[in-house]
């Protein structure tokens, strides 16, 4: 099986997981991965991502040009999210954009996931900023995201959804799953009272541990020091 065939299967699997977990509905969301030749494999526009076949995925260039697609298939209207991410982050190999309901709800009331409240969030996600609203499918949306993905592996999109990055489609999916779980936990805490931050020394401890894990993971993938 070729690398492209494996990635096609992985993206289809992630689409099904997102749909089954309620992180997307109908034709929402999109998933992409970087192919060995530098082009991108991305989900098509208009189809339910929980019902894709490997043949539905399309190949585009880093300039957004459609290179290969089955008849009737075209690239996602939100390809700018992915294009700007890959241009800004040579280390990123896969992106998942979904509409996790609790995480999106937080953006509607002006909350974000930057506060160091949950140890697992600090370790798995780091601080999760919120990109300002930009209309879906526009270059503007890609640009506002591009400014944030340089330093973050997960972010919220105000009024819209979330974007997570990873070395594989499955890893990026797990980031999305973790993000929504943290959002649900914080939402529940807010119903009970005012959430309390971890002590500063514990936060620093967790941040150092996350940095070490990221460095070693990048080294294992053979990335140069500037991208670790």
Q: Is 120 designated active site?
A: no
Nearest alpha carbon to residue 119 among 212, 199, 23: 199
71 three-class SS:
coil
Relative to beta strand 130-131, strand 154-157 is parallel
Q: Which residues contact 184 (CB under 8 A, 6 or more apart)?
A: 102
Considering the candidates 4, 55, 78, 120, report the single residue annotated as catalytic: 78
Nearest alpha carbon to residue 65 among 55, 74, 73, 57: 74
Q: Where are the alpha helices (DSSP H) in the chain?
A: 3-20, 79-88, 101-108, 119-124, 139-149, 169-192, 200-220
176 within 8 A of 23, measured Cβ to Cβ: yes
Residues designated as active site:
78
């Amino acid at each position: 099986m070729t690398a492209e065939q494996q990635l096609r299967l992985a993206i289809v699997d992630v689409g099904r997981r997102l749909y089954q977990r309620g992180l997307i509905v109908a034709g929402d969301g999109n998933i992409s991965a970087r192919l060995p030749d530098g082009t991108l494999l991305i989900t098509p526009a208009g189809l339910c991502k929980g019902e894709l076949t490997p043949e539905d995925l399309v190949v585009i260039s880093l300039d957004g040009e459609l290179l290969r697609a089955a008849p009737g298939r075209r690239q996602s209207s939100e390809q700018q999210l992915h294009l700007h991410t890959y241009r800004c982050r040579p280390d990123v190999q896969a992106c998942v954009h979904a509409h996790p309901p609790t995480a999106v709800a937080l953006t509607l009331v002006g909350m974000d996931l930057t506060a160091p409240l949950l140890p697992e969030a600090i370790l798995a996600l780091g601080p999760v900023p919120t990109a300002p609203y930009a209309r879906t499918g526009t270059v503007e949306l890609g640009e506002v995201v591009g400014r944030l993905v340089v330093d973050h592996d997960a972010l919220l999109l105000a009024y819209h959804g979330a974007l997570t990055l990873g070395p594989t489609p499955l890893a990026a999916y797990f980031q999305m799953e973790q993000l929504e779980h943290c959002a649900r936990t914080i939402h529940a805490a807010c119903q009970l009272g005012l959430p309390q931050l971890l002590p500063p020394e514990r936060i620093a401890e967790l941040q150092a541990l996350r940095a070490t894990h990221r460095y070693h993971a990048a080294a294992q993938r053979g990335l140069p020091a500037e991208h670790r």
